[in-house]
């Protein structure tokens, strides 16, 4: 149900849409489990790098593997995102389920590898070749052996996961009621994982 906003929430300069939905009840291990389930179910993300003189630049990227809280991509090292990462390793990953409105934001640091990384062979699938093409020279063939094929590994530093707790009809009703009454909508659980949480999860 929508909740009223208090004067104290205004004077303390809090955002009630976050503070009222912040999840302090669900155990962290369950939060991690539900976050992993969400990421593994989506696969396609927006990977945002920072380009000198431009700012954030995003592109759609399919996850090759989730390794705990970290994300691995296979990518063409001739692409401009590698130039971006040579200047600034900070990245942001955005994942959203348009059906449920669940979303996650992962802030981290990207590490790139050359084609001699043995993990590439394990991560490679034939469909990835469609984004590389085969030059027909026996080298640039779009397979895991292709010197263009590299890994971008995003080491997470901060994660936000928002999970919808109401049905689609309930969401519409909640937002509508809140807008009419001047209250704040309660539609889901806002969760975050700090750098300490992430380090513990890796361990």
The pLDDT score that the predictor gives to residue 49 is 98
| 34 and 163 Cβ atoms separated by less than 8 Å | yes
Structural domain boundaries of the chain? 7-202
pLDDT tens, residue by residue, 90-104: 999 999 999 889 999
- Is pLDDT larger for residue 132 or for residue 176? 132
Average pLDDT of the chain? 89
CA distance 178 to 49: 36
- Tell me the mean pLDDT in the region 62-86: 97
pLDDT at residue 190 above 90?
Answer: yes
pLDDT of residue 19: 72
User: Does residue 195 register a pLDDT over 60?
Assistant: yes
What is the structure's pLDDT at 95? 98
Pick the closest to residue 193 from 159, 155, 156, 157 (CA basis): 159
pLDDT-above-90 percentage for the chain: 73
**CATH top-level class of 7-202:** mainly beta
23 band by pLDDT with thresholds 50, 70 and 90? confident
Mean pLDDT in residue range 7-27: 74
Q: Which of 167, 158, 151 is nearest to 198 (CA)?
A: 158
Q: What is the pLDDT of residues 132-167, one digit of tens each?
A: 999 999 999 999 999 999 999 999 999 999 998 766
Mean per-residue pLDDT, 117-132: 96
């Amino acid at each position: 149900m929508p909740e009223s906003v208090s004067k104290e929430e205004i004077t303390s300069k809090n955002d009630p849409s976050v503070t009222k939905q912040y999840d302090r009840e669900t155990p962290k291990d369950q939060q991690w489990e539900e976050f992993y389930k969400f990421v593994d179910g989506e696969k396609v993300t927006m990977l945002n790098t920072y380009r000198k003189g431009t700012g954030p630049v995003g592109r759609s990227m399919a996850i090759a593997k989730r390794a705990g809280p970290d994300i691995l991509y296979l990518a063409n090292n001739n692409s401009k995102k590698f130039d971006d990462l040579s200047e600034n390793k900070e990245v942001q990953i955005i994942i959203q389920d348009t059906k449920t409105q669940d979303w996650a934001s992962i802030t981290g640091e990207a590490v790139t590898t050359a084609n001699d990384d043995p993990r590439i062979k394990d991560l490679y699938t034939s469909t990835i070749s469609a984004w590389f093409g085969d030059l027909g020279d026996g080298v640039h063939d779009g397979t895991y052996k292709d010197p263009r094929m590299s890994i971008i590994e995003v080491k997470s530093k901060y994660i936000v996961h928002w999970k919808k707790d109401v049905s689609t009809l309930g969401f519409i009703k909640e937002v509508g009621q809140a807008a009419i009454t001047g209250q704040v909508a309660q539609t889901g659980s806002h969760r975050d994982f700090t750098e300490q949480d992430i380090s513990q999860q890796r361990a």
